[in-house]
Structure 1
Amino acid sequence: MGRRFGRVLALLLAPLMADGAARAEILPFETLAGWREGGQAEALAAFLVTCDQLAAPYWQPLCRLAQDVPADDASARAFFELLFRPVLVGSPPALFTGYYEPELNGSAVQTPRFAWPLYRMPPELQEGMVYRSRAEIEAGALRGRGLEIAWIDDPVEVFFLHIQGSGRVKMTDGSVIRLGYAGRNGHAYRSVGQELVRRGLFQPHQVSAQVIKAFVRRNPALGAELLNHNPSYVFFRKLKKLAPELGPIGAMGRSITPLRSVAVDPAYVPLGAPVWIEKGGAQPLNRLMVAQDTGGAIKGAQRADIFFGYGPAAGEAAGVVRDGGRLVQLLPIDRAYAMVAEQ
């Protein structure tokens, strides 16, 4: 699990609101829109995937009890209502986006078609270092060192794989490589979509992953410059024991679940906690999920990235999500009331 998991584990042990900047309010369950239709049995199953990673003492009794809850929505809903309280942290509206596990085409060797590398972590890159930028790496700073995991046929898909942080590569021999996040170059993430808006090329409501991909492919030279606007660069590792039916590995070192796992800011939302999502937009979504991942662009108490699954359909669904709403944490009763009292 490496450096990233060690950093996340430290965050798990930190106080929920270390900076004291966000207000917390306990809500009644009946104020959660769609709570009784939320499919809580699926959410409970996702919760159990990472429950043993929750180090705080108030979680462990709940995790033991959760293992014996019957696998139906009514029983799961009763479990959450009896032992948790909804806590609204921060001020809505939230910002919800979506992410997915891309599926790319790759080769073990460089060819004219497969010309863009995916790199493993350079051995000299240590936690906290600011390393070479995306532009420098794309210009060849790491070539000839044997760090390539695979060669890909589309530089735009490589860029979006970096944003997603994990993926699948279909190799020319028919095999599939599962890739997970290994580390990054230490540069802060900068949004290509925001840069397109800043340059007057699009309005904010027009920008999506699909729009960015299409624009870069239509304008290769300008597109390459725009992609390098984001200096952050991600390195990968092979996940040799990850079964095809399982989701990618999240920040807690376990597989995440489509439409039940979300990436959050662990400075405000404890990793492993259930969270109630009320997402607006063209495709509203009210359901119980679990905070099991993080992301470089996911900052704030009312910010979440919803995991949609893998492959092109999941990418299409995730790429158009940029919606408001609210995020409500479900916390153990003692912790919920203590957090409100600490304000």
Structure 2
Amino acid sequence: MSLSTLFRPISYSDLPGWSTDTVSAAFPAFRRCAFQASRRPYRTGRLGVRAEAFTEAFADARAMADAVAEETARRFFERHFVPFRIEAEQGAAGFVTGYYEPEVEASPVGDGRFTVPLYRRPDDLVDVDGQDLPCDLDPSFAFARCAGGRLVAYHDRQAIDRGALAGRGLELCWLADRVDAFFIHMQGAARLSMTDGTTRRITYAAKSGHPFTGIGGVLAELGEIPRERVTMQTIRAWLARNPHRVDEILWHNRSYIFFRETPAGEPDLGPVAAAKVQLEAGRSLAVDRMLHTFATPFFVDAPDLSVDGRPYRRLMIAQDTGSAITRPARGDVFMGTGGAAGSVAGVIRHKAAFHALLPRALMREGRGQ
């Protein structure tokens, strides 16, 4: 597999903000990937960044301490990686958004207050691919169900909200607010403060297969929120003002997420995500996993975005993915857990230049050939 022509080599001196970023903050995230990859190697993305090319960098990272000095971390990345600018498709600018881990109250049982279930993966949900996908299903479907001896589309959000899965014992927990549940679906994980005094974490397990539709775009098309003002906060505020229209809007997004419980892990870190490691706030990046290879370091330059009083120019590690994260120059920054992180994540919608740090071993192999 050849390395994609979308990668254009540059030097570290031409990487905006490289010399001023605290790159040591990203090293623990990379090191966690190094240990995970030793147990189960990551899959190579379609852009040709071979997972095997990380072997040397992973071995060195595992031999180092989790916390390293700034110059040690900088030398590590510069020794093992070469920066490449990712050319956005059709000349369009790259785009970055933010996400977080909601923290909500939940009950292990449903009652008069806790009426909204979060479901585990149903046993009749099956994985499909291009080899066994029925011709009447859209090629984007990765899940379906077997009915009458053939694969058909799984129940969508409206059908499930109306009880398609009721009575099957699939409830992981119950929430008091269906808008909270919907945004947990959007984030793909949550930290749950249970009514019995315990804390639980849940993360993505599977989805219904239906294409994702962003309700912010729906509200903009309906003229309810100006497109330039669509954020998580303005969407929540609109839903709170229009409770009689919640079903109408949420059901536009037919995709439905199923969850699994995951170990609580380190409390200062985020949930275990698609790369099977806990996320690092501000340093973990969700990318298109079909295109990119997990553990790839990315340097994101979003000069119009500021979360600490300076233009957002940071080294991050590809450790997650999402239905809305498509295209090479597209990423979603994990901002942390709880309401404060959500307030920051919800307003991140900015143009950005994406740079991938690719293993020098890949260069020695002749650019992946």
The question of a shared fold, defined as TM-score above 0.5 by the shorter chain, is answered with: yes
Q: For residues 130-172 of structure 1, what are the alpha-carbon distances to aligned partners after superposition, in whole Å with 9 as ceiling and x for unaligned? A: 3100000011111121111111011111000001111011111
Show the counterpart of 2:285.
Answer: 262
Partner residue of 2:34 out of 48, 51, 56: 51
8 Å Cα contact 1:169/1:176 also seen in 2: yes
* 3-state SS of 2:100 partner: strand
1:277 is displaced (CA, Å) by: 1.0
Identity in percent: 36
Q: For residues 48-69 of structure 1, what are the alpha-carbon distances to aligned partners after superposition, in whole Å with 9 as ceiling and x for unaligned? A: 1012415533211111123445
Shift in alpha-carbon separation, 1:40–1:212, aligned structure 2, 3 A: same
* 3-state SS of 2:203 partner: strand
Q: For residues 187-266 of structure 1, what are the structure 2 equivalents within 5 Å?
A: 187-240=210-263, 242-266=265-289
* 3-state SS of 2:19 partner: helix
Show the counterpart of 2:137.
Answer: none
1:314 aligns with 2:341: yes
Show the counterpart of 1:173.
Answer: 196
**1:171 counterpart letter in structure 2:** M
Q: For residues 288-338 of structure 1, what are the alpha-carbon distances to aligned partners after superposition, in whole Å with 9 as ceiling and x for unaligned? A: 110010101100111000000100000111000000111100011242576
C-alpha distance in 2, partners of 1:321/1:337? 37
* 3-state SS of 1:42 partner: helix
* 3-state SS of 1:275 partner: strand
* 155-164 or 268-277, which deviates more: 268-277
8 Å Cα contact 2:269/2:281 also seen in 1: no
* 3-state SS of 2:292 partner: coil
Q: For residues 1-343 of structure 1, what are the structure 2 equivalents within 5 Å?
A: 15=1, 23-52=6-35, 53=37, 54=41, 56-68=51-63, 71-91=68-88, 93-128=93-128, 129=144, 130-240=153-263, 242-283=265-306, 284-336=311-363
C-alpha distance in 2, partners of 1:181/1:161? 10
Show the counterpart of 2:148.
Answer: none
8 Å Cα contact 2:120/2:258 also seen in 1: yes
Q: For residues 167-222 of structure 1, what are the alpha-carbon distances to aligned partners after superposition, in whole Å with 9 as ceiling and x for unaligned? A: 01111122111101111111110110111111111221110011111111111121
In proportion to residue count, which structure has more helix?
A: 1
Q: For residues 245-290 of structure 1, what are the alpha-carbon distances to aligned partners after superposition, in whole Å with 9 as ceiling and x for unaligned? A: 3320111111111111000012332111111011233413111110
Show the counterpart of 1:3.
Answer: none
8 Å Cα contact 2:34/2:61 also seen in 1: no
8 Å Cα contact 1:121/1:147 also seen in 2: yes
Shift in alpha-carbon separation, 1:90–1:240, aligned structure 2, 3 A: same
**2:96 counterpart letter in structure 1:** F
Unaligned runs of 5+ in 1: 1-14
* 111-120 or 59-68, which deviates more: 59-68
* 3-state SS of 1:324 partner: strand
* 3-state SS of 2:127 partner: coil
C-alpha distance in 2, partners of 1:310/1:31? 33
C-alpha distance in 1, partners of 2:74/2:121? 43
C-alpha distance in 2, partners of 1:127/1:297? 19
C-alpha distance in 2, partners of 1:269/1:285? 22
C-alpha distance in 2, partners of 1:65/1:141? 50
Q: For residues 2-35 of structure 1, what are the alpha-carbon distances to aligned partners after superposition, in whole Å with 9 as ceiling and x for unaligned? A: xxxxxxxxxxxxx586xx6x62200110111111
8 Å Cα contact 1:69/1:76 also seen in 2: no
- The alignment's C-alpha RMSD in Å is 1.9
8 Å Cα contact 2:200/2:264 also seen in 1: no
Unaligned runs of 5+ in 2: 43-50, 129-143, 145-152
C-alpha distance in 2, partners of 1:83/1:280? 27
**1:253 counterpart letter in structure 2:** K
8 Å Cα contact 2:157/2:254 also seen in 1: yes
C-alpha distance in 1, partners of 2:32/2:82? 21
TM-score (norm 2): 0.83
C-alpha distance in 1, partners of 2:255/2:17? 38
* 3-state SS of 2:125 partner: coil
8 Å Cα contact 2:295/2:319 also seen in 1: yes
- Misfit runs of 4+, over 4 Å: 336-342
Show the counterpart of 1:10.
Answer: none
